[in-house]
């Protein structure tokens, strides 16, 4: 199994949802970067459960401890190990999922592949693992800030409710509401809808849109490691993600070349494009325009309803919905999307630097 | 720059469209695999230009030569180097693109990143490079055939024209028409439309759907290297791709968990799911159901029209459409999608084998 | 900086000698392996300081905690994170090395490369980091035991004192004495000599020989990743190592081909060689004979004497020998050599399995 | 099987000694490097057979063709594919080695590992593969020259004949004689000795010493990827190598710390060491002093004598010495050692650049 991500800015996450701790080792962060630990905490708080009425009501204080790689407030270039203890490891009754496979979860495939599986709360397949990514992503963000690169994700769709195009929005308002949609009216509709879904003991899917501003021209590599290919892999590696598109995406299919091509012009300081169907990336390499992409999340698989299923012996059984779960994952997915984007950008920044004569 | 793909079944492609040759080194193919060279040629022929009236009329015989890694018709476990000579390296007049940046091509970003660029015919960014992938993918397909795994891609959308869902189609009919859509009626509509677009000196986008049957349970790795994340990266690494979705994809966003969850049952021989919104992958690992995904291709950037642009000195200029180009890329993209899928599957097969105690 | 080792059985170590903790994440260990934690502790105890009069008198209880990757006593295939807290982080006076560069230590090069350096006790360059390797190696050893592979290292040289060739020794006696030389008489001479060196406030070098028995035929890869090349890298990556040789090694240079070639014969059950100058490896691949190699360790750089040096501002200064250090590193290096060898073998076992058709 | 070497300056070699061609793909060379093709040829000529009376009398013109990655005399940043055709693929009689395992060759282990093996002339295990490394190394050398880094290897030992320490030699004289030892008197003794060994239809081993001057402070990574660990792996990956030591090496074992420590001083311009037992590397990182190391080569396994052996069916047989082979490999190994050293340095240069904030 590989749990390592990145080429030069490399992370290795570990931990199960109900083991002693989860965490991450960041290997490759340049030395001399000032790390504000409160910023990491802030990012973790954006992801943590229990933050609003439309997220799971589980309470977890995702407080972390840095074990290495820092000295006098700055990175040393050595691996940064960061650990988040699991507070709630009490031996709850997990018998209902120890044997039975929850529909559309990873229970069955893990069991089939590995044989020995920590079923408690999903174990390694739990989205709890993403806290480690958010912490690592926070450090990547600090590195990107030195290059003026800004990453802003937001909720652009919940069920059938779709927000306006990002270019019409003020992305600084994303944190103004609990669903993390910068358009106040759409946000309210989304919140009301998620609340209704929750009352229905059901769940619903959504889309997170991510916008990256001020990327220098030249990030990404042209064949297999195209900037958008790596962003795609990073996003598709997040739990519950079903699709990724950038720039014109699936809609672009319907256009003609004469409509879709982005005309170059010189704005007096640099070469730019008049439109941006390319999504800031041409031939796999950033062109200096906004990078933007959409990430589709399926409805959360855990619903508060009884569902027929099969147990590990192949017998029919019923899986009951228990515990407190998110009716819609996208509000909490926003910082995860940003974190993974930050890790991709940081890695390509370093790779680009390495490739200069 | 990285031009290497894969972890254990690893390929390294090389070559520019107008250099002496393109090719690929496959490093990691198991020894003892019988390689039918005519099958490789067949796959290359499905990708090659000039094959029908709706593809570019350029003529290239993509004949290949294997330089190493084979002995008495079988692989030896050593690197397989495969070279395709470029037949048409005449010193044509490329002055129109030596200086000017073609809209929505990689000209500008390559120039900015690398400084020294083989502009002739797109050089390294030309889709000609994908011939090397198709050749490597053919060998991966032969490996998969030993495991009974079948990969079938087809054109499911051109512009606004959409084929029926794959489950209603007979995928053995994909090669029956020049657009590679197994539904004859849809195919004819697509062909007529592409022909019209060509007459309009324009281009149009499309979608390739890929279906993988008989994948064993257990391929893929659960965190960053999820099976669909790697498939996504592989597809997004193909020229002109703007999006990837698997299973329910972007449409799944609109559903509720109670609609979307795939109920498990025991069919008497093994555990299966009644529906397949999961697209054959749960928690990043194959569950034995059909894997299926969509790949969105933008309209080809080269159009037979004059377009305003900027040259490398930042001055305004006009780029004229010249040469013979595809009005729609998807018919020729079908074997490329299959090839990349085969490479991903072959790699995960080997990784899964390695991980067994 | 890369702190990751291995291709499939991959470890990522972290931690500074005077930070909160050191540790390791093992990514890729197959699921289902029974892990006896007391065996890990046993291996750590063989490496820990303060174990005898000829090692440093510092006392550290290297007790570890496993944070992930285990369930009901067996590995789950997910990353195994193992942490060893540093007990002695008191704010000692390190001013003497905060500024000055200790001769033949990593102080100067780390400072030059990274700028920000945890100088306390050597920080990341401290051999304390090797405890993490020993812990990971213990798990690799458990994996190898399932394949009957045995790894035994011992001290074969201290200063000018050289033990007999391993083929004449009973390697089960290595732990019978504190210098870890299985020949009792040589061991006593070595111990007396190290004790004298210690009284002289000096240090001395030594050689560790490692013997690997029962390796299956076929491990290793033939070009860059030859089995001995990877063993060499693994050994040269241990602190204070200056050389590596396997089989006939540097002595083999003096022989003629007619003397050095290992004649094949059939012992009735399998093909073997009459002599073993090849050291169990031919063409980079194990041939089933004993693998054996030597690892040269320099005299410990920290001596209990004043030494002229330079500080970080380029000024002349004197570095005084302080604290309690090993007069000779090889007795404690034995388990480290074994651990790294185990990691290399485990990785190649997995790689070999992956490569089978 | 992995045939890829390097992290950022990455090479992938391919080819069997009697297949159509051997070659290499260099992936990661920075764009804009001027490549003098005659320099590559010069390096290949230093390695090629038939260059003097003490090397094999086989004649091969190792002429190469660059297939990609260059434009107008400079690298473009895309993969550089370089092919050397095998001129002598006539169907000679190889029946004597098709079935029988030559002693101390890779025949048996390849057969056991891979099952299907191109036995003609050693196939992939032939040292012919190293021509590809020399060509790639030549390009790495050109990159290093821009940083003023010089790599000079020479023959320092043949059998029992040992040259003086490198610090007493004029390394510009290495190419003055056919054995490549810069000390004229020692060189003559070596040549006479090798000639006698050849007449005896036997072979003998030797040592190549390599000296790297002007390395900037800071190359190498401190834990597993120490500069000398990677150099060690690179050297041990060369055919026939049995040992590697750097700086004081195996001799350093005998010294005391008070003798071995390299005292720092300030020469007025930078920090230096008075002695150089460290071999230019401290804590795995270059310190700006000369890097020097020794590489031990065993006697060539092919001797012009009959040797008892076993065939692939396990039956006793006799292997006869046939063909024209090197009586001693070290004169031709000099450029190979330099090439691999250049590849290691180029890679670390790029990695170091990437790691700067």
C355 contacts on D by Cβ (under 8 Å): 1
B350 contacts on A by Cβ (under 8 Å): none
B310 to A266: CB separation less than 8 angstroms, yes or no: yes
Answer yes or no: is pLDDT of D45 > 60: yes
Closest residue to C357, CB basis, from B30, B222, B355: B30
A10 to C16: CB separation less than 8 angstroms, yes or no: no
D2 vs B63, higher pLDDT = B63
B20 contacts on D by Cβ (under 8 Å): 65-68
Rounded to the nearest angstrom, the minimum Cα separation between A301 and chain C is 22
Q: Identify the burial level of B144 via C-beta atoms within 10 angstroms of its C-beta, where 0-12 means exposed, 13-18 middle and 19 or more buried.
A: buried
d(CA A301, CA B330): 34
Average pLDDT score over residue span B211-238: 97
Predicted pLDDT at B54: 87
Chain B contact residues (CB < 8 Å to C): 8, 28, 30-33, 77-78, 143, 146, 222, 350-351, 353-357
Rounded to the nearest angstrom, the minimum Cα separation between B281 and chain A is 8
φ, ψ (nearest 5 deg) of residue C271: -80, 130
Answer yes or no: is pLDDT of B91 > 60: no
pLDDT band at C99 (very low <50, low <70, confident <90, very high): confident
Rg of chain D over all Cα atoms, to the nearest angstrom = 21
D partners (3+ CB pairs within 8 A) are A, B, C
Task: Name the residue in chain A with its Cα closest to that of D29.
Answer: A355
Between A279-283, C88-92, C207-211, the lowest mean confidence (pLDDT) is in: C88-92
Q: What is the pLDDT of residues D74-86, one digit of tens each?
A: 999 999 999 999 9
C347 contacts on B by Cβ (under 8 Å): none
d(CA B141, CA D26): 26
Rounded to the nearest angstrom, the minimum Cα separation between D10 and chain B is 9
d(CA A76, CA A64): 19
Predicted pLDDT at D93: 64
Task: Name the residue in chain D with its Cα closest to that of B66.
Answer: D20
Q: What is the pLDDT of residues B136-170, one digit of tens each?
A: 999 999 999 999 999 999 999 999 999 999 999 99
Q: What is the pLDDT of residues C226-258, one digit of tens each?
A: 999 999 999 999 999 999 999 999 999 999 999
Average pLDDT score over residue span D17-28: 96
Q: Are D180 and C223 in contact (CB under 8 A)?
A: no
pLDDT band at B98 (very low <50, low <70, confident <90, very high): confident
C222 contacts on B by Cβ (under 8 Å): 78
Half-sphere exposure of D80 (CA within 13 A, CB side): 32
Predicted pLDDT at B58: 78
Question: How large a percentage of chain B has pLDDT more than 70?
Answer: 98
Half-sphere exposure of A46 (CA within 13 A, CB side): 27
Closest residue to D1, CB basis, from C108, C222, C301: C222
Rounded to the nearest angstrom, the minimum Cα separation between C283 and chain B is 13
φ, ψ (nearest 5 deg) of residue C256: -95, 160
Closest residue to C357, CB basis, from B31, B354, B357: B31
pLDDT band at A322 (very low <50, low <70, confident <90, very high): confident
Rounded to the nearest angstrom, the minimum Cα separation between D11 and chain B is 10
DSSP state of A125: G
Q: Are C316 and D266 in contact (CB under 8 A)?
A: yes
Within A191-321, strands assigned E span 206-213, 241-246, 264-266, 271-273, 281-282, 285-286, 291-297, 307-310, 316-319
Q: What is the pLDDT of residues C280-289, one digit of tens each?
A: 999 999 999 9
Answer yes or no: is pLDDT of D299 > 90: yes
Predicted pLDDT at C60: 76
Give the best residue of C104, C163, C207, C277 to mutate against chain D (max D CB count within 10 A): C104
Question: How large a percentage of chain C has pLDDT more than 70?
Answer: 98
- H or E segment at D335? helix D330-354
- Short-list B281, B244, B245, B246, CA closest to B262: B281
Helices (H), chain B: 37-47, 95-98, 107-114, 130-145, 184-199, 227-236, 249-252, 257-260, 330-354
How many residues appear in chain B? 357
Answer yes or no: is pLDDT of D100 > 70: yes
Predicted pLDDT at C319: 93
pLDDT band at D1 (very low <50, low <70, confident <90, very high): low
Q: Are B119 and B176 in contact (CB under 8 A)?
A: no
Answer yes or no: is pLDDT of C87 > 90: no
* B258 marked ligand binding residue: no
Q: What tokens appear for A318 in the block?
A: 């019923």
d(CA A301, CA B259): 10
Average pLDDT score over residue span C128-155: 98
Q: Are B229 and A236 in contact (CB under 8 A)?
A: yes
Q: Are C87 and C68 in contact (CB under 8 A)?
A: no
d(CA D340, CA A202): 61
User: What is the 3-state secondary structure of C250-283?
Assistant: HHHCCCEHHHHCCCEEECCCCEEECCCCCCCEEC
Predicted pLDDT at C100: 92
Predicted pLDDT at B61: 80
d(CA A217, CA A284): 11
C261 to D308: CB separation less than 8 angstroms, yes or no: no
d(CA D228, CA D221): 10
Q: What tokens appear for A261 in the block?
A: 């091509």
Q: What is the pLDDT of residues C260-274, one digit of tens each?
A: 999 999 999 999 999
pLDDT band at A50 (very low <50, low <70, confident <90, very high): confident
Question: How large a percentage of chain A has pLDDT more than 70?
Answer: 98
Between A137-146, A153-162, B255-264, D313-322, the lowest mean confidence (pLDDT) is in: D313-322
Q: What tokens appear for D71 in the block?
A: 């434009």
Closest residue to C125, CB basis, from D159, D222, D314: D222
Helix (H, G, I), strand (E, B) or coil at C140: helix
Average pLDDT score over residue span A268-289: 97
D22 contacts on B by Cβ (under 8 Å): 67-68
Rg of chain B over all Cα atoms, to the nearest angstrom = 21
For the four alpha carbons of C128, C129, C133 and C136, in that order, the dihedral sign comes to positive
Report the CATH number that the domain containing residue D245 is assigned in CATH.
3.60.150.10
φ, ψ (nearest 5 deg) of residue C323: 80, -165
Q: What is the pLDDT of residues C197-209, one digit of tens each?
A: 999 999 999 999 9
φ, ψ (nearest 5 deg) of residue D132: -65, -35
- Strand B285-286 relative to strand B206-213: parallel, antiparallel, unpaired? unpaired
D229 contacts on C by Cβ (under 8 Å): 232-234, 236-237
Average pLDDT score over residue span A136-160: 98
Answer yes or no: is pLDDT of A357 > 70: yes
Predicted pLDDT at A12: 96
Q: What tokens appear for C100 in the block?
A: 């000055």
Average pLDDT score over residue span D113-132: 94
Rg of chain A over all Cα atoms, to the nearest angstrom = 21
Domain that holds residue D136: 4-354
Helices (H), chain A: 37-47, 95-98, 107-114, 130-145, 184-199, 227-236, 249-252, 257-260, 330-354
Q: What tokens appear for D82 in the block?
A: 């370089």
Q: What is the rounded average pLDDT for all residues in chain D?
A: 95
Between A198-207, A316-325, B124-133, D38-47, the lowest mean confidence (pLDDT) is in: A316-325
Closest residue to A229, CB basis, from B160, B233, B310: B233
Domains of chain D: total:
1
- H or E segment at C44? helix C37-47
- For the entire predicted model, the pTM comes to 0.97
| Per-position DSSP letters for B76-122, written without gaps between them | -SS-EEEEEE-S-------HHHHSBPPTTSSHHHHHHHHS----GGG
Alpha carbon C159 to chain centroid distance?
19
How many residues appear in chain D? 357
Q: Which residues contact D312 (CB under 8 A, 6 or more apart)?
A: D99, D100, D101, D111
Helix (H, G, I), strand (E, B) or coil at B295: strand
Residue whose pair of structure tokens reads 């590193």 in the numeric block = C329
d(CA A270, CA C81): 48
Answer yes or no: is pLDDT of C324 > 80: no
Predicted pLDDT at B345: 98
Q: Identify the burial level of A73 via C-beta atoms within 10 angstroms of its C-beta, where 0-12 means exposed, 13-18 middle and 19 or more buried.
A: exposed
* B187 marked ligand binding residue: no
Task: Name the residue in chain C with its Cα closest to that of A10.
Answer: C2
Rg of chain C over all Cα atoms, to the nearest angstrom = 21
DSSP state of B301: S
Predicted pLDDT at C88: 66
A1 to B296: CB separation less than 8 angstroms, yes or no: no
- H or E segment at D229? helix D227-236
* B126 marked ligand binding residue: yes
Answer yes or no: is pLDDT of D145 > 70: yes
Beta bridge partners of B151: B212
φ, ψ (nearest 5 deg) of residue B260: -90, -30
Beta bridge partners of A311: A100
Closest residue to B30, CB basis, from C8, C146, C356: C356
Rounded to the nearest angstrom, the minimum Cα separation between C72 and chain D is 32
Neighbours of B228 (CB within 10 A): 29
pLDDT band at A89 (very low <50, low <70, confident <90, very high): low
Rounded to the nearest angstrom, the minimum Cα separation between B72 and chain A is 32
Q: Are B138 and B28 in contact (CB under 8 A)?
A: no
pLDDT band at D201 (very low <50, low <70, confident <90, very high): very high
Between A212-221, A314-323, C135-144, D107-116, the lowest mean confidence (pLDDT) is in: A314-323
Chain A contact residues (CB < 8 Å to C): 1-4, 10, 12-16, 19-23, 25, 27-28, 31-32, 65-69, 71-72, 74-81, 83, 113-118, 123-124
Between A172-181, C120-129, C161-170, D274-283, the lowest mean confidence (pLDDT) is in: C120-129
pLDDT band at B190 (very low <50, low <70, confident <90, very high): very high
Q: What is the pLDDT of residues A302-313, one digit of tens each?
A: 999 999 999 999
Answer yes or no: is pLDDT of A9 > 90: yes
d(CA B11, CA B261): 37
Residue whose pair of structure tokens reads 């592989």 in the numeric block = B234
Q: Are D30 and D42 in contact (CB under 8 A)?
A: no
């Amino acid at each position: 199994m590989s749990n390592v991500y990145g080429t030069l800015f490399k992370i290795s996450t570990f931990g199960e949802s109900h083991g002693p701790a989860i965490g991450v080792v960041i290997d490759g962060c340049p030395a001399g970067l000032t790390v504000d630990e409160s910023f990491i905490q802030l990012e973790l708080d954006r992801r943590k459960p229990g933050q609003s009425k439309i997220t799971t009501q589980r309470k977890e204080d995702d407080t972390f401890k840095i074990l290495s790689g820092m000295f006098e407030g700055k990175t040393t270039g050595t691996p940064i190990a960061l650990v988040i203890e699991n507070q709630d490891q009490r031996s709850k009754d997990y018998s209902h999922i120890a044997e039975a496979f929850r529909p559309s979860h990873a229970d069955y495939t893990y069991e089939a592949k590995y044989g020995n599986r920590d079923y408690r709360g999903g174990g390694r397949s739990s989205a709890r693992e993403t806290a480690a990514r958010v912490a690592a992503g926070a450090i990547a963000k600090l590195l990107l800030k030195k290059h003026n690169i800004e990453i802003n994700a937001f909720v652009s769709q919940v069920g059938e409710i779709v927000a306006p195009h990002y270019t019409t929005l003020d992305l600084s308002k994303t944190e103004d509401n609990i669903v993390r949609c910068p358009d106040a009216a759409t946000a309210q509709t989304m919140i009301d809808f998620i609340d209704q879904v929750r009352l229905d003991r059901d769940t619903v899917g959504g889309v997170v849109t991510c916008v990256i501003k001020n990327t220098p021209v030249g990030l990404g590599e042209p064949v297999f490691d195209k900037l958008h290919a790596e962003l795609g892999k990073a996003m598709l590696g997040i739990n519950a993600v079903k699709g990724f598109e950038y720039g014109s995406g699936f809609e672009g299919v319907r256009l003609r070349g004469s409509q879709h091509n982005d005309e170059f012009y010189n704005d007096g300081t640099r070469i730019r494009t008049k439109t941006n169907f390319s999504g800031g990336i041409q031939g796999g390499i950033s062109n200096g325009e906004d990078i933007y992409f959409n990430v589709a999340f399926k409805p959360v698989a855990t619903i508060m309803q009884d569902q027929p299923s099969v147990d590990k012996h192949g017998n029919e059984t019923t899986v009951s919905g228990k515990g407190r779960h998110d009716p819609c994952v996208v509000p909490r997915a926003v910082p995860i999307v940003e974190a993974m984007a930050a890790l991709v950008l940081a890695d390509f920044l370093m790779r680009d630097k390495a490739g200069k004569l």
